[in-house]
Amino acid sequence: MARNKRNESGSRPGPVALTLLLFALFVPLGIGYVWFKDQNDVLGDQVHKQENALNALQDGNRDLRRQLADLCLPEKLDGQVKKMNLGLGPPLQSQIVRLTESPSNLPAAAPDQRRAQGVPRERNY
């Protein structure tokens, strides 16, 4: 008698193994994809926060530069000197020392000749 293959009680291991193999392949891929997307969002939020902090610091620096420029104005400095009663003012004529320079168009002489002519030595400060 001919047997009907549909009524066989034994199951074949091939399709079950293929299903398990595909499941074992796609589930970690899906979990990895979701994890990487989450990490991308977390890093994007961190970058956004850092950019906001940088902009706030740049704005603060800009304000401080404006304040410093304002405080360095001669009118403001004079006002602070008068307010603090420091007694500062322009120097007296007797306190001013004038230095004369020798003409720069003289030919360069040897150091011995310059000393003989009474030209002082050059000093590097």
Q: Distance of alpha carbon 124 from its chain centroid, rounded?
A: 37
Query: Does the pLDDT value for residue 109 go beyond 60?
Result: no
Mean pLDDT of the chain: 84
Cα first-last separation, the chain: 121
- Locus of tokens 């009474």: 118
Confidence check: pLDDT of 58 > 80:
yes
Q: Residue 62 pLDDT > 70, yes or no?
A: yes
CA atoms within 13 A on the CB side of 20: 5
Residue 52 has pLDDT above 90, yes or no: yes
How many H-runs (helices) and E-runs (strands) does the chain carry?
Answer: 3, 0
Q: How far apart are CA 107 and CA 81, in angstroms?
A: 48
Residue of 90 and 8 predicted with greater confidence: 90
With CA atoms as reference, report the closest residue to 122 among 66, 20, 63, 110: 110
In the structure, what pLDDT confidence band is assigned to residue 53 with cuts at 50, 70 and 90? Answer: very high
Q: How confident is the model at residue 47 (pLDDT cuts 50, 70, 90)?
A: very high
Tell if the pTM clears 0.85, that is, is over it.
no
CA 24 from chain centre, in angstroms, equals 47
